[in-house]
Structure 1
Amino acid sequence: MTAYWIAHVTIHDMQQYQEYMKLAPAAFQKYGAKFLARGGESVCVEGQAYQRHVIIEFPDLATAQQCYDSEEYKQARLAREGCADVMISFVEGLPTN
C-alpha cells in the first residue's frame, strides 16, 4: 500500500541546509520517491507553524522507512543537524478500491 513521508521544516541556516539539499536526493532517487509537495505557499491553521512542508510518495511504508534509515539519507541528516527544526512522519495511504 502506498505510503507518504510528510515533513515540516523551519530552516535557521540556509547555507548549511544547502548541503542537506545536495545529499538528500540520492536517497530519494534510490527508493523511488515521488514528490507531491515541496515548499510553496502554505497556511498554518492549527499547531506549530513551519516554513516548509514536503509530501513524498513511496511504494509502501517499509520503503519510506528504508529510505530514512539509508546511509545516503543518514549523511543528509547529519549535514542538516543543528540548522533546521524538522518533524517527519510516515503514513500509509488509503486502499485504492
Structure 2
Amino acid sequence: MSAYVIVNVDVLDEEAALAYAPVAQKSILDHGGRYLVAGPTPDPVEGTWDSSRFLLLEFPDMARIREWYDSPEYRHAREIREGKVRVSLLFAEEAPPEGFTLPT
C-alpha cells in the first residue's frame, strides 16, 4: 500500500536550498519515491499555511519511507539544510475510504 510524505518547507537561505534540493531529490528517487506535488505553497482556503514551499511525495510503502529518511544520502541532505531550510514532515499511509472513520 502506498505511503506519503507531506512536506512544508520554509527557505531561510536560498543558496542553501539550491544546494539541498538536488541531493534530497536524488535520495528520494533512489529510494522509490516520486513527486506528486512540488512547488510554491498552495492557496490556503481555511486556516494559515506558514511555509514557502509544499511537497507531496509518494513511496511504495512506509518501510521505504523510513529507509529513505534514515539513509546516508538523506542524512547528508539534512546536514546541508541545517539551520538554513526549515522542513516539517508528516508520514502517512494510504487508507481506503471505506476504512476511514472520524474519531468520536
Asked if Structure 1 and Structure 2 have the same fold, meaning a TM-score greater than 0.5 normalized by the shorter chain, the answer is yes
- State the secondary structure of the residue aligned to 1:87: strand
C-alpha separation in 2, matches of 1:52 and 1:26: 18
Matches within 5 A, 1:1-97: 1-44=1-44, 45-95=46-96
**Structure 1, unpaired ranges of 5+:** none
- Residue identity opposite 2:70 in structure 1: D
Task: Go from structure 1 to structure 2 and tell me whether the alpha carbon gap of 1:28 and 1:96 turns closer, same or farther (over 3 Å shift).
Answer: farther
CA-based RMSD: 1.8
Rg larger in structure: 2
Count of equivalent residues: 97
**Structure 2, unpaired ranges of 5+:** 99-104
- For normalisation by structure 2, the TM-score amounts to 0.84
